[in-house]
Amino acid sequence: MENLTTALAEQSFSFVPSADLLNMLLPYHHNTDITNLEASFQEFHNAWNTSKPQRSLDNGVELYPYKGTLVSYYDLDVTFRRSNSHDYHGETEAETNWVVEHVDATTSTTGAAAADLGRRHKSWPTFVDQNPELLALHQLLIAILASLDLSDDADGNSRQDWEAMQTAFRVQKSREFHGEPGPEGVHQDDCFLTVVILFDRVNVKQGTGGSRIWSLNQECGKPTNDDIISTKLLGAKILEHRFDAVFLLDRMVKHEALPIEMADLDGVTAVRDVLTFEVRKKFVE
């Protein structure tokens, strides 16, 4: 973990290969072998099959039909409790088990994703709450925050004041599905720490679906060709292997997710599954 925290301290982001991430998780998991640890994530990954497109809080319309999500908020303390402060209590059975993502239009994303001031996401199934692999990931997040001395910030927040917005994204590309993970383009998530972990790439064309890190001087939204060849682009990499990841300090840099394309146009729908964490102060109504 030392290499990761050093990179975050020096350049505010780090691309982490899958083997390195799994090695960082081993101290927090009962498995002592990387191969066994990797295999044990399968039950957790099954949750992506329950994802649904996010909806506008204003009118319930699906914002991105090609982009399934699961969202829940977890307290980053020793209990790793699921927070209830974001739960959406619908009037009908079909509206239960959804959570609200509150969007601050003054500091949050720009472009298509900032069309309204709130979104509803399908919540994670409750079976993941005690999943050993997820708990190991939460423990790793706490260790990173502590090593960066963010667990007690200038506002006096202790680690018990942190929560992680945990999101599964399933982006699909076909003749019917658009296949763009980041329609907002370059953006920030209005949090302290953002983590993106690849869980699957199916029929995704090599060289597509990459991640870019930008300086704060880069405008939010879609970059131009001149932007791409400028010094404002700090780093770019494609997360290709399961558990490849990118960690970034969201207040220090901006980031972007690029569209996926189908490797075999006559094959199955292209799918890219990622897990993200956005770590911020606990939401207070």
Tell me the CA distances in angstroms from 29 to 46, 67, 279, one per residue in order: 19, 31, 21
Instruction: Give me the pLDDT at residue 179, please.
Output: 86
Radius of gyration of the chain (CA): 18
Instruction: Give me the pLDDT at residue 106, please.
Output: 38
User: Alpha helix locations (H) across the chain?
Assistant: 2-11, 18-25, 34-40, 42-45, 132-147, 225-228
One DSSP character per residue, 85-99 reads TTEE--SSGGG-SEE
Q: Compute the distance between CA of residue 124 and CA of residue 71 in angstroms, rounded to an integer.
A: 6
Number of domains within the chain: 1
Instruction: Give me the pLDDT at residue 77, please.
Output: 76
Tell me the CA distances in angstroms from 128 to 25, 48, 104, 245, one per residue in order: 17, 11, 28, 20
Tell me the CA distances in angstroms from 10 to 5, 16, 138, 147, 248, one per residue in order: 9, 15, 23, 13, 11
What is the strand order of the sheet 118-122 is part of? 55-56, 118-122, 98-102, 87-88
Instruction: Give me the pLDDT at residue 84, please.
Output: 66
Instruction: Give me the pLDDT at residue 176, please.
Output: 85
Q: Compute the distance between CA of residue 21 and CA of residue 10 in angstroms, rounded to an integer.
A: 19
CA 232 to chain centre: 23
In tens digits, what is the pLDDT along the chain, a chain of 285 residues? 889 999 999 999 999 999 999 999 999 998 888 889 999 999 999 999 999 998 887 777 888 889 999 999 998 876 668 876 666 544 444 545 677 765 543 334 433 444 445 788 899 999 999 899 999 999 999 999 988 865 445 455 544 578 899 999 999 999 888 888 888 899 999 899 999 999 999 999 999 999 999 999 999 999 999 999 999 999 999 999 999 999 999 999 999 999 999 999 999 999 999 999 999 887 655
Bridge partner residues of 279 (DSSP): 164, 193
Where in the sequence is the domain holding 221, given as residue range(s)?
2-281
Instruction: Give me the pLDDT at residue 58, please.
Output: 77
The dihedral built from the CA positions of residue 173, 176, 181 and 183, taken in this order, carries a sign that is: positive
CATH number, position 156: 2.60.120.620
